[in-house]
Structure 1
Amino acid sequence: MVKKAENIIVGISVGDLNGIGAEVILKTFEDTHMLELCTPVIFANVKILSFIKKNLNLESNVHGIDKLEQLIHGKINVLNVWREGVNIEFGVNDENVGKYAIKSFVAATKALKEGLVDVLVTAPINKYNIQSEEFHFPGHTDYLNQELEGDALMLMVQDNLRVGLLTDHVPVNEVSQHLTEALIRTKIKTIAKTLTQDFSISKPKIAVLGLNPHCGDHGVIGKEDDEIIKPALKKLFEEGVLVFGPFSADSFFGSGQYEKYDAVIAAYHDQGLIPFKTLSFGKGVNYTAGLDKIRTSPDHGTAYEIAGKGEADFNSFKEAVYLAIDVFNNRNEHNELIKNPLKTKQKQL
């Protein structure tokens, strides 16, 4: 059954309370039109959200609940994940605050896993202060990959610009060790499936960037492009995946080549994210592709330097909410068409 817009429940993990996470969440839903698109539920504590709202002179009205069955459509719901107070010092890297960021995230993920919320949008965390014996993951994506079915892949999105990664949080001097034909095949097939089911692109075209300068110049500046990437892409293309490359990364974005493709896959983190963040103008979204559930986040961090000052730009978080809703609707439509192929034919007529 297709949900009405306002009945799409968006679960939100609050992120680092000393950062800008709560600010961008509250600013996003100050616009009452957002409450017509979905029903937000923030996994945190209503007293703390009220304190932050007052500190920032925001007008958002938060509604505290103790269980998800109590949420009200048209309200900014705050599920009380904990009761005790938390000492908030904006801009401070605090290990105790990190624990509450993870309490929020783990509870929101559980709700997503159990189908109590439809999508998950995560506010920024500090990857250092969240580490503990109970939670030892580099970030959101790795934990989601453990808890949810599928094979998680970070896909950065801003309108028609989509950038994925073959390797993500890997030191640069270890990237080549991680590049294998099996990895390349898995990542590209995941992106191809995502573009079809989540972005409604029937025959997606995917570009892959080379690892080395000038794709290795036939082995003069590295052999990985010739010996690993090219053979993998050739086999995938022969199997019907519209994948092209590898392309020299230095000129790919500046020349506008990326506009010819539905997604671009970079070999490593900065190779993809530097041009993406340059082009996305603060409206980029981090989408976790490859999972059976939907998760998005803004493409920025905790921004301690401006936390508590009311200066945070909320556009990236707002776009993350929009994308989560769009993907939810696209995926439902895709699944419905698979169940009823006649609808596909009728749509094409």
Structure 2
Amino acid sequence: MKTNEIIKVGISIGDLNGIGPEIVIKTFEDARSLELCTPVIFASSRIMNFFRKHFKSKIIFHEINSLDKLAHGKVNVVNVWKESVNIQFGQEDKTIGEYAIKSLEAAVSALKEGDIDVLVTAPINKSNIQSEKFNFPGHTNYLDQELEGNSLMFMISEHLRVGLLTDHVPVKDVPSHITEKLIRQKLDTVSTSLKQDFAISKPKIAVLAINPHAGDNGVIGNEDDTVLKPALETLRKEGHLVYGPYSADSFFGSNGYQNFDAVIASYHDQGLIPFKTITFGNGVNFTAGLNKVRTSPDHGTAYEIAGKGTADESSFKRAMFTAIEIFRKRSDYNHYSKNPLKRMSRK
């Protein structure tokens, strides 16, 4: 694509009782954002105008019923539904969860069809979205089913990138999920993403141990010795710049992460607690490994402040900018990978 081409950013509205609608509105109140992208919100004009009035915003929405009617230079709202919705800020509501999924499904369908270029998802409540038709622990798992590739939750900021071997898995089940095949798959996904999405030609990747102190030679579990270490050694012999396993308790405190392009944690909290501690408000959740780009802010629905007008849109705004940047870098990577002579001419 041309570098000056306006990217169509699809937005699933998330939990309507949370802070999602507020941070979306605040993001696009800044008219400069429309110079970078064409936003397409999947919800309804009725509900978005309710939020506009509630938050006393001057934003103007462009209502459309089909994506062939979207307008550049405007904040488009696709009418996924037209009925009124009862909003109770800060309340967990099964019906609200159903609307979050309606928005998500419509946005993902548009992404698959190429009607939007990237997807940015506002926060959902993982409990109230569950149903017989939708039984996924989060966005990442649903997108893994709907899109091509192998998804990986990749938390990224300016100076830190953290991927996960296992994401929404109970801690007691983590060791049984980590196999040599999974380790190879996740490392390949991270390595490929660093090359095509972040323009890092020879990525250096650190891997955190499964057990405390990497198992202390079997004293605190043997999974690091029997599974993780042999898999990493094989990958190193194949030429991958992969290091570890490192004891997780000291790795971040000693700033060891600054020596690597990415860190792979064995499970959710091992990676996300330090990531959010170091970067909170400036981090982005990126679903790597798929054929389409999806990002989201690094926080949840924040029911405790929903409707109060105090939500900080910084992470959502950064998620939007990151999606645009990754889309452009991936487009460049794919273009020059197919045309090596053109790549050489850039030097």
Q: Which residue of 2 aligns with 1:324?
A: 323
Residue type matched to 2:166 in 1?
A: T
1:94 is the counterpart of 2:93: yes
CA distance in structure 1 between the aligned counterparts of 2:219 and 2:98, rounded to whole angstroms: 49
1:187 is the counterpart of 2:148: no
3-state DSSP of counterpart to 2:31:
coil
- Aligned partners of 2:11 and 2:42 also within 8 Å: yes
CA distance in structure 1 between the aligned counterparts of 2:135 and 2:216, rounded to whole angstroms: 40
1:168 is the counterpart of 2:167: yes
CA distance in structure 1 between the aligned counterparts of 2:185 and 2:77, rounded to whole angstroms: 38
- Aligned partners of 1:113 and 1:148 also within 8 Å: yes
- Aligned partners of 1:277 and 1:284 also within 8 Å: yes
Q: CA RMSD in A?
A: 0.9
1:115-147 deviation line (CA, Å, top 9, x unaligned)? 110000000011111111111111111111011
Classify 1:303/1:162 alpha carbon distance in 2 versus 1 (closer, same or farther; 3 Å).
same
Offset at residue 222 of structure 1 (A): 1.1
Q: Which residue of 2 aligns with 1:219?
A: 218
CA distance in structure 2 between the aligned counterparts of 1:213 and 1:66, rounded to whole angstroms: 54
3-state DSSP of counterpart to 1:215:
helix
- Aligned partners of 1:16 and 1:302 also within 8 Å: yes
Offset at residue 3 of structure 1 (A): 5.5
Q: Which residue of 2 aligns with 1:112?
A: 111
- Aligned partners of 1:2 and 1:332 also within 8 Å: no
3-state DSSP of counterpart to 2:198:
coil
Q: Which residue of 1 aligns with 2:235?
A: 236
3-state DSSP of counterpart to 1:159:
coil
CA distance in structure 1 between the aligned counterparts of 2:342 and 2:58, rounded to whole angstroms: 45
CA distance in structure 2 between the aligned counterparts of 1:289 and 1:311, rounded to whole angstroms: 31
CA distance in structure 2 between the aligned counterparts of 1:213 and 1:126, rounded to whole angstroms: 31
Offset at residue 199 of structure 1 (A): 0.7
* TM score, norm. by length of structure 2: 0.99
Offset at residue 346 of structure 1 (A): 2.4
Residue type matched to 1:56 in 2?
A: F
Residue type matched to 2:309 in 1?
A: G
3-state DSSP of counterpart to 1:312:
coil
Q: Within 5 A, what are the aligned runs for 1:1-349?
A: 1-2=1-2, 4-5=4-5, 7-347=6-346, 349=347
Residue type matched to 2:328 in 1?
A: N
Residue type matched to 2:44 in 1?
A: N
- Aligned partners of 1:125 and 1:302 also within 8 Å: yes
- Aligned partners of 1:13 and 1:108 also within 8 Å: yes
After TM superposition, what 4+ stretches of structure 1 lie above 3 angstroms from structure 2? none
CA distance in structure 2 between the aligned counterparts of 1:60 and 1:80, rounded to whole angstroms: 17
Unaligned runs of 5+ in 2: none
1:14-42 deviation line (CA, Å, top 9, x unaligned)? 00000000100110111111110100000
- Aligned partners of 2:280 and 2:298 also within 8 Å: no
Offset at residue 298 of structure 1 (A): 0.5
- Aligned partners of 1:156 and 1:286 also within 8 Å: yes
CA distance in structure 1 between the aligned counterparts of 2:222 and 2:176, rounded to whole angstroms: 12
- Aligned partners of 2:40 and 2:77 also within 8 Å: yes
CA distance in structure 2 between the aligned counterparts of 1:33 and 1:48, rounded to whole angstroms: 24
CA distance in structure 1 between the aligned counterparts of 2:93 and 2:2, rounded to whole angstroms: 42
CA distance in structure 2 between the aligned counterparts of 1:188 and 1:35, rounded to whole angstroms: 36
- Aligned partners of 1:166 and 1:267 also within 8 Å: yes
- Aligned partners of 1:296 and 1:324 also within 8 Å: yes
Give the % identical residues: 63
Offset at residue 59 of structure 1 (A): 2.0
- Structure 1 range deviating more: 107-116 or 216-225: 216-225
Offset at residue 219 of structure 1 (A): 1.1
Offset at residue 342 of structure 1 (A): 1.4
CA distance in structure 1 between the aligned counterparts of 2:345 and 2:74, rounded to whole angstroms: 38
1:172-229 deviation line (CA, Å, top 9, x unaligned)? 1111111111110000001000000011100000000001111111111111111111
1:234-260 deviation line (CA, Å, top 9, x unaligned)? 111111211100001011011011001
CA distance in structure 2 between the aligned counterparts of 1:136 and 1:267, rounded to whole angstroms: 24
